[in-house]
Structure 1
Amino acid sequence: MADRGAADPVKVVFVCWGNICRSPIAERVARRQADEAGLTGVEFTSAATSTEELGSPMDPRAAAVLRDRGYDADGHVAHQVDAAEITGADLVIAMEDLHVDRMRRIAPDAELSLLSDFDPAATPGSGVPDPWYGSAEGFYGTLGTVEAAIPGVLDRVRELQASR
């Protein structure tokens, strides 16, 4: 976790495989829920563990689901997470254990979490399934899973802010 002062924003990075579906959905949901809660002093970003989709926009199905539910889906460009981004963040939140394992290879001492673990109703360690292989309906399921977990993320952000 980064060492910051009280005036520095809490930095949260959401990570999935290609940074075109789950992690940008989480980033957009977190931004809106934080805005709606009046939570300031936080930056949300997202990244990939793989290089497959570097430079790509958000998957059109993910963008369509976000827009359908009133979220901003514009301007996303996929990029790969690196050690500096991991160690420079206060919270690094992965979608699956696979992503945690890949990030451990480049930042072995980093504190990493699964998004699903922020949802008290979710099975611990369950992760967020990848909708990429399925139909558009799977993206609505992913959005619902993310929306259920983000309040727990915002609670953690508040804890980090209070501890500075």
Structure 2
Amino acid sequence: MFVCWGNICRSPMAERVAQSYAERDGLTGVEFTSAATSSEELGEPMDQRAARTLSRHGYAADDHVAHRIDRAELDQADLVIAMEGLHVERLHRLDPDAEIALLTDFDPAAQPGSGVPDPWYGSESGFLDTLSAIEAAMPGIIDRARSLAAARAAQ
């Protein structure tokens, strides 16, 4: 589960990139989803700039509808990845004991504790920066998803 503020830019981009990497790497039995910590964009499609950026780089960008995460969804997720510290704080309001990672925790070159800046406020080039941050973290995310899937299968 990827989580950002409105679920129209960063988190759906990460969801689509993760799906693509999983398919490419033969990872099956794993579902990637995304959600918001706010209710501002509920029911909205993916930001057009995010969708264009994904499409231009070979990722799917269709059929997304923003929704807000709830406690049940948070508790059911095997791995919750937030885009910045504010999202971690909001998720801990739903479940103080939830284990939440930052996307940049999976990028060995990222500064510890750094987040992925929100591209919504800037130009289209910010969406490319977001995509680059997501792609840099994706090998680590796929490795973790593979480990979680194997542990679940062994139970």
TM-score (norm 1): 0.91
User: Match of 2:94, as an amino acid?
Assistant: I
Q: Are residues 1:33 and 2:18 paired? A: no
- The within-5 A match list for 1:67-82 is 67-82=55-70
Give the residue type in structure 1 aligned to 2:46. M
**Structure holding more strand per residue:** 1
Give how far 1:162 is off. 2.8
Pair 1:18 & 2:20 matched: no
Q: Which amino acid aligns with 2:145?
A: V
Q: Following the alignment from structure 1 to structure 2, what is the Cα–Cα distance between the partners of residues 141 and 106?
A: 30
Q: Which residue of 1 aligns with 2:46?
A: 58
Q: Secondary structure at the match of 2:120?
A: coil
2: distance between equivalents of 1:68 and 1:162? 33
Q: Which amino acid aligns with 2:23?
A: D
* Larger helix percent: 2
SS at match of 1:132: helix
Aligned length: 152
Q: What root-mean-square deviation, in Å, do the aligned CA atoms of Structure 1 and Structure 2 show?
A: 0.7
- After superposition, the C-alpha distances for 1:103-152 in whole angstroms (9 at most, x for unaligned) are 10011111111000001111111111100010000100100000110110
Give percent identity, aligned residues only.
68
Which residue type is aligned with residue 2 of structure 2? F
The superposition leaves residues 23-64 of structure 1 with CA deviations (integer Å, 9 ceiling, x where unpaired) of 000000000001000111100000000000000000000001
Structure 1 residue ranges without an equivalent (≥5): 1-12
Where does the alignment leave 5 or more consecutive residues of structure 2 unmatched? none
Runs of 4+ in 1 over 2 A off after TM superposition: 161-164
- The match for 1:134 is 122
Q: 1: distance between equivalents of 2:137 and 2:46?
A: 21
